[in-house]
Chains A and B, each alone.
Chain A
């Protein structure tokens, strides 16, 4: 019998989210490969097949993949005994999510209607059911979950984004359905603000002070901010008046900038000043949120730089720049924490052979800091080169793709190292249980 595999199955708290977490950098590799193959055309227009494929490799394959894993871990905690099969549901959800995203990415690249259809059939039921499940689970749990309302609204944002996305994908799949490009802006706004940003704001109130020893966020920067963002999003989608929509975009941008600056201020006031890789990732993320909000406003009001499509820069700043940076930083806290927890609990709870000493690695030993620093360097280089690729062709594009590729592979290696370390120590303890 394979003891290592057995021990992983016995640690659903570790394996349920980790299977999603490890898939994220694989989609980073896929995105980098598409940039390589495309050779730079995608930096000229947000509408090219390759840009749409890369955007969805990041949003579904990387960002939503990690967020689903993290929420799957929390759902059974919130639901208690009501969802005993959460571990098994997560296995199926992970497979469907991976397959559905691959089909969608290839569908964009080949512009093949049948592949869009398969992607819709896989992703829409999964994500709508998942979003609805999160909303219901938190309602049932009542007031116990402090970030509950924000997570519920984010789940609603996910459902709206997916339904809009399904309509747009139907435009690619069926000749009878019109492909309404103007609808894409609503789909993107709900996806970024309603799903990604609302969830990040919601959980940062908990995780930033806890993992980075910053002061607490002020109360208005949590639920109040999230309510305002969602209200503005609804207003912008429902009222088709040009001047009103301009006002909505300006107000939303002000709120996003204020939150990014507040987070940077809190990160500057950490109680422990020692080097922390998550702190660095979050600073880069917040800086990119500021830049992305700025370029979005500039492009919205018709601004251009050297004739380039600035909305591509907005996409780079907000997706790999903001969302991927904060998620990458958080993975370096959550994965070592879960490895430590799953090794430590049986030792402390006295489930092992009495009288024998068991060594649990320190949380800071789970992933070597130098390896994380190296990955961070490639991540930042990748971001700079991606932005430069909008203006410079040729070698810059291939350098950008290489940096994203190496960064993703290093993240994958670091996460796999954490799992191997868990297996090594779990084997020692499981042998005497």
Chain B
């Protein structure tokens, strides 16, 4: 699966969510988006579930960042 990455650290809300949504709109089924975020984007999850996206979120304690991987259902 091809990977695309997006760093939204330091952006004022709602810009992180807007950037993520904009990349998702162009993401192909064989692609995965890796987002680096200061916080866990809890409000994004129901949107992902509603539109058939799968995700995995991990917290990197040392860096103090969240890594959220998003891909299309079916993989």
Contacts and interface: CB of A to CB of B under 8 A. Distances in A.
A210 B13 contact: yes
A272 interface: yes
B31 interface: no
A216 B65 CA distance: 12
A206 interface: yes
Given A77-B45, A210-B13, A345-B47, A146 B21 contact: no
Contacts of B13: 210-211, 333, 337
B22 A77 contact: no
Interface SS of chain A: helix, strand, loop or mixed?
Answer: helix
A349 B21 contact: yes
A44 interface: no
Nearest to A342: B47
Contact of A77 (B17, B39, B43): B43
Interface string A142-179: 01111000000000000000000000000000000000
Interface in B9-55: 12-14, 17-18, 21-22, 24-25, 38-40, 42-43, 45-47, 49, 51
Contacts of A210: 12-13, 38-39
Residue in B12, B18, B45, B57 with the greatest tally of chain A CB atoms within 10 Å:
B12
Given A76-B46, A77-B46, A340-B14, A348 B25 contact: yes
Contact of B51 (A78, A143, A206, A349): A349
Interface residues of B, number: 22
Given A13-B46, A77-B45, A145-B40, A349 B12 contact: no
Contacts of A145: 40, 42
Contacts of B47: 341, 345, 349
Contacts of A209: 38-39
Interface of A: 13, 74, 76-78, 80, 143-146, 206, 209-211, 213, 216, 272, 333, 337, 340-341, 344-345, 348-350, 363
Given A146-B40, A216-B38, A349-B21, 19 more contacts: A74-B42, A78-B42, A80-B49, A143-B59, A145-B40, A145-B42, A146-B59, A206-B39, A211-B13, A337-B13, A337-B14, A344-B21, A345-B21, A348-B18, A348-B21, A348-B22, A348-B25, A349-B51, A363-B14
Interface of B: 12-14, 17-18, 21-22, 24-25, 38-40, 42-43, 45-47, 49, 51, 57, 59, 64
